[in-house]
Structure 1
């Protein structure tokens, strides 16, 4: 599994690619870099880091690479949570599960109900 620690810029790049689709560094800079006051090179470096982590795919188009997300938002979330969960075993995981319930509770009753529905579906053998 790739090293998944994401900086703020890397997360923003992924958010844009999930929303907009494939972009080259110049296009990404127009969407993201100008408002942040950062250079095209900084944006390009962030995209390259995400590629190296296995989170982006790229294709050479003319003189530049065009990047697209290699994973969905849901898959990245699953990978991030799995990388945290593998650090805990046995009874230690109970605290991790309690943290998920706390997060759901803080988000409101509707989120708790969605979590309950997900758990019930898994217990019944569904996805």
Structure 2
């Protein structure tokens, strides 16, 4: 799955606002980026079809909400990208994350350790 720049901005907006219709999104994003209301509506519809947004009809408009949080989307995007390059049981993905962690400070590394421990506990049940 690939996301365009406007799609990313719409997701970020909806993560902060929780729920909005196309006109609300347009008033914040569309006008500053010179996008029409129709472009915003098309973007919301694409995100809905990709399974990233839910929508409910209210009057003539749809109200949109995100279906996934930031972390879940990042995990999905990483999995989609790496699935083409990493085979089952291969350790290159772990090595790539290890290399990427070289840029993290001590607080971020501590948080990473905490998240890894949470995943271990979840697997144990």
Task: Indicate whether the TM-score tops 0.5.
Answer: yes
* In 2, Cα distance between equivalents of 1:105 and 1:112: 9
Following TM superposition, by how much is the alpha carbon of 1:71 offset from its aligned partner in structure 2, in angstroms? Answer: 1.2
State the TM-score, normalizing by the size of structure 1. Answer: 0.83
Deviations 1:46-86 (A, max 9, x none): 11100010000111111111111111112112212222343
Counterparts of 1:39-118 in structure 2, within 5 Å, are 39-87=36-84, 88-90=86-88, 93-118=90-115
Following TM superposition, by how much is the alpha carbon of 1:40 offset from its aligned partner in structure 2, in angstroms? Answer: 0.7
Following TM superposition, by how much is the alpha carbon of 1:21 offset from its aligned partner in structure 2, in angstroms? Answer: 1.3
SS at 1:66 equivalent: strand
* In 1, Cα distance between equivalents of 2:106 and 2:59: 51
- From 32, 35, 45, give the equivalent of 1:35: 32
Deviations 1:18-59 (A, max 9, x none): 100111111100111111111111111111100010000111
Gaps of 5+ in 1: none
- Matched residue count: 121
Deviations 1:79-106 (A, max 9, x none): 1222234331146x42221221222221
State the TM-score, normalizing by the size of structure 2. Answer: 0.84
SS at 1:60 equivalent: strand
Q: Which residue of 2 aligns with 1:18?
A: 15
Gaps of 5+ in 2: none
